[in-house]
Amino acid sequence: MTEATGVDELVTETADRLFTQVCDHEAVQNAEAAGAAPEIWSAFAETGFPWISIDEDRGGSGGTLLDALEVLRLVGYHAAPIPAAETGVLGGWLLASSGHEIPAGPITVLPNSNNITASVSGDQMTLAGTCARVPWARIAERIAVLVEVDGQSMVGSVDPKDCAIRPMTNMAGEPRDTVCFDGAIAPASPCVAGVNPETFRFRGALSRAALMAGAIEKMSQLTVTYTNDRIQFGRPVARFQAVQQHLVWGAQEAALARMAAETAGREANRGSAFFEIAAAKLITNQAAARATKACHQAHGAMGMTQEYPLHHYSRRLWSWRKEYGGDAEWSKWLGDAAVSQGAEGLYALVTGGSSVLR
């Protein structure tokens, strides 16, 4: 597996073991009620996993983007209630690549800066405006803010104490807070080439594709187990053809989503992966819709209860589907790319992806 996917097998094993220990059904449920899970974060941080793919000399844990995405896949698989993507491949990436210090605790990042204004003076920026749906802002040690000022992409490293944070949640009860900047002043520095709002948008989509692939796979496996255990009419319901349809559809979407996310990760780890990431996010978005429908149906009423864990995954998927680009955004991007290739180049795009767009 290591050879085929480029992922360090030790990363997979260790992360899977860790989350199996600390993220059982009850722990995830408790985190939702409390709005945070400091013990889970501590266990995660102790391994150094949050900072994989950030260079060690920048305060990270080293390793590749592939390893970091594999951890995110497992975060999704276990519904781990922690800001893993924000601290690592998103916020950590922005801070490290623009020379900011990486703090010891969780990092978050503004998903966009559409309603933020920034003025830069020397190595400081002054921020105004409000950003909604900021993951885990309430527990973050720094908030990474990516803005364009006079055509230059800049990253500010904001101390959350300088902002007003209103706790909000997504459909899975994960913190998605509203952050209000009212003249907050933060250290600012310019981005290196290749880091800008567009590439950040794609990276955000890639992080969600990895999380979603994990969650869909877990849902599919729960469904197979449940329908083989559940007896009705004297036999496991999985023996009924009508139920088999849902099992197969769930497994297909899990396979498709993981293939898409892993292939996009492979290309992103090498360089330009606009096509693969756009396709992976659209695929995982739609896979989430189809898989949640199939898996819920196969579970019957049990899947609609809080006591059974299916909802940890399905509610996250419904939320993540809309983060860093819903169906319409990526569908439009891909449609424009396809039409730009013309009939003669259409299949070459399907087989060659970003390499033919370069």
The nearest distance, CB 331 to another protein, in angstroms, is 4
Q: Which residues bind another protein (CB under 8 A)?
A: 1, 4-5, 221-222, 224-225, 228, 238, 241, 244-245, 247-248, 251-252, 255-256, 258-260, 262-263, 266, 275-276, 278-279, 282-283, 286, 327, 330-339, 342-344, 346-347, 349-351, 353
3-state SS, one letter per residue, for the chain: CHHHHCCCHHHHHHHHHHHHHHCCHHHHHHHHHHCCCHHHHHHHHHCCHHHECCCHHHCCCECCHHHHHHHHHHHHHHCCCCCHHHHHHHHHHHHHHCCCCCCCCCEEECCCCCCEEEEEECCEEEEEEEEEEEECHHHCCEEEEEEEECCEEEEEEECHHHCEEECCECCCCCEEEEEEEEEEEEEEEECCCCCCHHHHHHHHHHHHHHHHHHHHHHHHHHHHHHHHHCEECCEEHHHCHHHHHHHHHHHHHHHHHHHHHHHHHHHHHHCCCHHHHHHHHHHHHHHHHHHHHHHHHHHHHHHHCCCCCHHHHHHHHHHHCCCCCCHHHHHHHHHHHHHHHHHHHHHHHHHHCHHHHC
The nearest distance, CB 236 to another protein, in angstroms, is 9
Instruction: Give the nearer residue to another protein in terms of CB position, either 179 or 219.
Output: 219
The nearest distance, CB 275 to another protein, in angstroms, is 8
The nearest distance, CB 204 to another protein, in angstroms, is 18
Instruction: Give the nearer residue to another protein in terms of CB position, either 16 or 141.
Output: 16
The nearest distance, CB 27 to another protein, in angstroms, is 18
The nearest distance, CB 137 to another protein, in angstroms, is 32
Instruction: Give the nearer residue to another protein in terms of CB position, either 97 or 284.
Output: 284
Instruction: Give the nearer residue to another protein in terms of CB position, either 16 or 162.
Output: 16
Instruction: Give the nearer residue to another protein in terms of CB position, either 189 or 354.
Output: 354
The nearest distance, CB 301 to another protein, in angstroms, is 20
Instruction: Give the nearer residue to another protein in terms of CB position, either 176 or 201.
Output: 201
Instruction: Give the nearer residue to another protein in terms of CB position, either 124 or 232.
Output: 232
